[in-house]
Amino acid sequence: MSKMTIRDFTDNAMIAAAYAVVTIVTSGFSYLGIQFRIAEILVLLCFFNPKYVIGVSLGCLISNYFSPMQIPDMIFGTGATIVSSLLVVYSKRLWIASIFPVLINAPVVGLELYYVLGLPFWLSAGQVAIGEATVMVIGLLIFYPLSQNQYFHRLLRSRRINK
């Protein structure tokens, strides 16, 4: 990864703030089993610029502080977001990138819910997967058309063009 600039820091601060605020404001359906975390759409930004892994991860960490599972969610939930964001970075296609948050977050959060709150693992993992998949489909509907726009790529200082 290249050297971080002031612009990189401010971009990541805005992404972290957006992730945290959206998750906290929608906390009624951003945590626990039936998890529809709208802010996870921001993970797809990492497809266009790998430096955004920092902002997404920091936003997830901050929002997980407000989770009913707090410390375990801050560690494992944020860890899952970091791993899925890094896999998004190395994806060749946006639609493939959108699969990784579902595959990583569902079992990790499912295990958290099982061990911390005693909820059934498979039900919890399935509910998280459904919520995450729904959010990723919405993200694809937003980012695919934007990915065809050269201004969008310049704005994000994207490393990808029209994929």
User: Would residue 106 count as lying in a domain?
Assistant: yes
User: Would residue 15 count as lying in a domain?
Assistant: yes
User: Would residue 70 count as lying in a domain?
Assistant: yes
Mean pLDDT in consecutive groups of 10 residues from the start of the chain, 163 residues: 85 97 91 86 96 97 93 95 97 95 96 94 95 96 92 82 51
What does the pLDDT read at residue 160?
66
Exposure string over 4-30, b if 16+ CB within 10 A, otherwise e: eeeebeebbeebbebbbebbbeeeeeb
Which phi and psi angles does 26 have, rounded to 5°? -105, 35
Tens of pLDDT, residues 42-79: 999 999 999 999 999 999 999 999 998 899 999 999 99
User: Would residue 44 count as lying in a domain?
Assistant: yes
User: Would residue 163 count as lying in a domain?
Assistant: no
User: Would residue 1 count as lying in a domain?
Assistant: no
Question: Can you give the residue range of the structural domain that contains 139?
Answer: 6-156
> What does each C-alpha distance from 22 to 19, 114, 117, 118 come to in angstroms?
5, 25, 24, 27
Q: How many domains does the chain have?
A: 1
What does the pLDDT read at residue 163?
46
> What does each C-alpha distance from 130 to 33, 46, 74, 112, 122 come to in angstroms?
10, 22, 21, 17, 12
User: Would residue 58 count as lying in a domain?
Assistant: yes
User: Would residue 134 count as lying in a domain?
Assistant: yes
> What CATH number did the domain enclosing 25 receive?
1.10.1760
